Amino acid sequence: MSNADFVEQYYERIATDQDYRARLLADPVAVVCEEFGYTPGPDLKIEIVEQADDTIVIMVPPKPDAGLDMEKELTRATEQVFDLLFSSGVGGFFIPDDTQKWILREIRLASQKKTDS
Amino acid sequence: MAARTVNRSTMEETSVSGDFERELTRRVWTDDAFAEQVESDPAEALRSMGVEVPAGVKVRVVAQRRDTIYFTIPPARDPQSPPPPAVLNQMDLWSSKGLFIWLVPVAAKFKLLALRDAARKEEIRS
């Protein structure tokens, strides 16, 4: 199974296997890490954003660090509005902070190693 | 609660400007009670901004936290139902901190326009 197939099959499983979906929602860190073959650090937090055919999801940028100019940050964050319209679906990870970026890369790497072996 | 008193004056100065994204973000950043309500009861929280959620659509608001990775997953589907016409695409947003993001089913895109329009009309009225 190639890494590309792994991703598609994983989304297919999440969409159609109700028990698996329920487990993922109940304990995202454990289920994602098990699936990707990644060992989580103590601080890893994953939240699942469920898409549904009747639901508009709004993701508000996180509050800027104290000391930053609020108006400037408001302009910066909300002038970059991203509309994601999905037909059959767009899945993936949203990573608010650069430090989280490297964790996701490790997760991806783990899944690649897992599917290559 | 002290923070809320401070924020109330901020809110009065800044009624809805017609820029829904900006006003919603401002409220979430400056009003902790609103930030909680917008996640637990989004329709009511948006109503307090003068924005009515269009009928037939639900709204969910996620205030991103920097220590969290968000994994968006496709709509649930009956295993017996035919697979969707196109495969699900994977898209990672590496700096979602700097973005205001709407995740909208195609079927609801005109509802999204209605929602944004409600914010604009509120401005024209005031």
Nearest CA in chain B to A45: B68
Strand, helix or coil for residue A83? strand
pLDDT digits (tens, 9 = 90+) for A22-51: 999 999 999 999 999 999 999 999 999 999
Please give the C-alpha separations between residue A78 and each of A62, B72, B86, in angstroms, as whole numbers. 11, 21, 31
Q: Which of A58, A63, A95 is the best mutation test for B, with the most CBs of B within 10 A?
A: A58
Average pLDDT over residues B22-30: 95
CB contact under 8 A, A84 and B106: no
User: Would you say residue B125 has pLDDT above 70?
Assistant: no
Q: What is the ipTM of this complex?
A: 0.91
Q: Residue A114 has which token pair?
A: 């897992």
Q: From the CB of residue B48, how many other CB atoms can be counted at a distance below 10 Å? A: 13
User: Which residues in B lie closer than 8 A to residue A86 (C-beta atoms)?
Assistant: 103-106
Chain CA centroid to CA A55, Å? 18
pLDDT digits (tens, 9 = 90+) for A60-97: 999 998 899 999 999 999 888 888 888 667 889 999 99
User: Which residues in B lie closer than 8 A to residue A61 (C-beta atoms)?
Assistant: 25, 64, 96-100
Strand, helix or coil for residue B39? helix
CB contact under 8 A, B74 and A88: yes
Strand, helix or coil for residue B114? helix
User: Would you say residue B122 has pLDDT above 80?
Assistant: no
User: Which residues in B lie closer than 8 A to residue A21 (C-beta atoms)?
Assistant: 73, 76
User: Which residues in B lie closer than 8 A to residue A82 (C-beta atoms)?
Assistant: 93, 99-102
Strand partners, A91: B90
